[in-house]
Structure 1
Amino acid sequence: MNCVFCAIGSGQLPAHRLYEDEHFQVILDIYPLRPAHVLVISREHAPFLSDLSAAARERLLALAERLSRTLRACGYGARGINLLINDGPVANQHVPHLHLHLIPRRPGDLPALAWRIVSRFLPFGRQALQARLTREAELLRHALQREL
């Protein structure tokens, strides 16, 4: 199977891992739309939400709520967080493996968000972004250990 999220889950690819349990792994998005953009990735290779086991579906929103609380406690998304599942390629799902985005927002961030949507895959600024992701991962990992 040639799935980037399966490769991350098996340790074949690196990721900024924040949390893992029997159903999910939580990582930072390497092409974040906003600071502390988190992905909740199913351990099962489930291309669509309907393909995910009932046990994992039941756990997903509870985990998302805990992650939202942790993000807010760390100063991200205090006034709002987008929770987004792109369910299928027509819905802009680039990796055919179920994942939930948590994208912290703040008032007035729409121009920056729009710019990131357009430029997120461009190669410039990757070194500074990697340094920021490392800092965010450390902060969030410690906060999640206390929360979860």
Structure 2
Amino acid sequence: MDCVFCAIAERRLPAHCLYEDDDFIVLLDIFPMRPAHVLIVSRRHAPFLRDLPPALAERLLPLAERVAAALRQAGYGGQGINLLINDGPDANQHVPHLHLHLIPRRPGDLSALLWRLLTRFLPLGRKRIEARLQDDADRLRLILAKEN
């Protein structure tokens, strides 16, 4: 079975990629829980956190800090961002490839977050979501590119 994140890393599948280096790609989640829901994905296939080589694991949180700063600069998650790793299928990991979610939050968004959790894989409003993903990707790419 082909891994969707490996295919994205190898450019065999499209994605709203915001940043990439030799070890990680940063992209927008196509089923976002909140606006500007970002994933940091290891280029190396690692189903569980324990499978990520220590040198890469050491780079993951500093990269997450950089992406979180870009999100805040773009106006997302100014007062909070959830960082989440679903480590294994029993932890609700849908793609068996390590990825860290950054989910920007705002005051009072819990009901919308819960609704999105229940409906995130339904095709409702897909065109609107795709348009928002493109806008978010453009804004965040510019910010991340300036930091290099």
Moved >3 Å (runs of 4+) = none
Number of residue-to-residue matches in the alignment: 148
The Cα shift of 1:55 comes to: 1.2
* Aligned equivalents of 1:122, 1:87: Cα separation in 2: 23
For residues 91 and 104 of structure 1, the distance between their equivalents in structure 2, rounded to whole angstroms, comes to 21
Q: Please provide the CA RMSD for this pair.
A: 0.7
Q: Aligned partner of 2:132: which letter?
A: R
Q: How much does 1:147 deviate?
A: 2.3
| C-alpha distance in structure 1 between counterparts of 2:100 and 2:68, whole Å | 12
> Which ranges of structure 1 fall in alignment gaps of 5 or more residues?
none
Unaligned runs of 5+ in 2: none
TM-score by length of 2: 0.98
Report what 2:92 is aligned to: 92
Distance in 2 between the 1:10 and 1:69 partners?
27
One-letter amino acid of the structure 2 residue matched with residue 45 of structure 1: H
CA deviations 1:1-53 (Å, max 9, x no partner) are 51000011111111000000111000000000000000000000000111001
Show the 5 A alignment for 1:21-36: 21-36=21-36
Which residue of the partner structure matches residue 133 of structure 2?
133
Map 1:1-148 to 2 at 5 A. 1-148=1-148
Distance in 2 (alpha carbons) for counterparts of 1:45 and 1:93: 14
Q: Percent identity?
A: 66
